[in-house]
Structure 1
């Protein structure tokens, strides 16, 4: 699927996996440890949503409306920054995380969430 072949998605997914691998090995690089996953979250999650919508509608030119991203940022912010920290002390509420979710959503809309360019014939 062409949606998953977008270079920005590939870089975001690779950076996310690399960060997780480092954390698994107990290597913590501040501030990447604190905020990189939050920044990369929306481009990865919204690209998956975009791919699903394109398959569902059978339209490779489908783009996610802006309100999808706004809802995603709101829901992730409420769940991960308000709800989970109240359930357990292992989670920390951080308003900066919401800022990084928002930046990731902007990155998604400016780069990945575009209709593919039509192929030109020679």
Structure 2
């Protein structure tokens, strides 16, 4: 469970929280409000899923998701939030840039979390 306290993961959560708090207070942060939460969505979901995968499924703390899995998460998130949900609720809107952000977030996560532990610094 200590993997959930990775500095990057904590940063994802703090940024997401700040952006949503600013939205709630009707003071959106112009450059960050639009797509940063979409960029952070896949890395945050992947990090939580990977932590539980390592603990309960593969039982190997060095295991990482292959790029294909992360890209699949981006496809799935895109389909749900950019195609399905806008058809079911007027609260959601379609935005191709959100899809780009999901895929960019996947690649970001792969670059900073997806490499084997020997190729990057591990946090205790």
TM-score (norm. length: structure 2): 0.86
The answer to whether the 8 Å contact 1:43/1:108 transfers is yes
Match of 2:101 in 1: 100
The answer to whether the 8 Å contact 1:13/1:44 transfers is yes
* Alpha-carbon distance in structure 1 between the residues aligned to 2:65 and 2:90: 35
* Alpha-carbon distance in structure 2 between the residues aligned to 1:36 and 1:64: 22
Shift of 1:96: 0.3
1:64 aligns with 2:65: yes
Moved over 4 A (4+): none
Alignment length, in residue pairs? 117
Shift of 1:58: 1.3
- 5 Å-filtered alignment, 1:23-38, equals 23-38=23-38
* RMSD of aligned alpha carbons: 1.4
- 1:15-71 CA-to-partner distances (Å, cap 9, x unmatched) read 111111111222112242221110110110000111011002211101012221111
Match of 2:14 in 1: 14
Match of 2:43 in 1: 43
Between stretches 23-32 and 67-76, larger displacement belongs to: 23-32
Shift of 1:113: 2.4
Match of 2:5 in 1: 5
The answer to whether the 8 Å contact 1:61/1:114 transfers is no
* Alpha-carbon distance in structure 1 between the residues aligned to 2:4 and 2:85: 30
Unaligned runs of 5+ residues in structure 2 are: 119-124
TM-score (norm. length: structure 1): 0.87
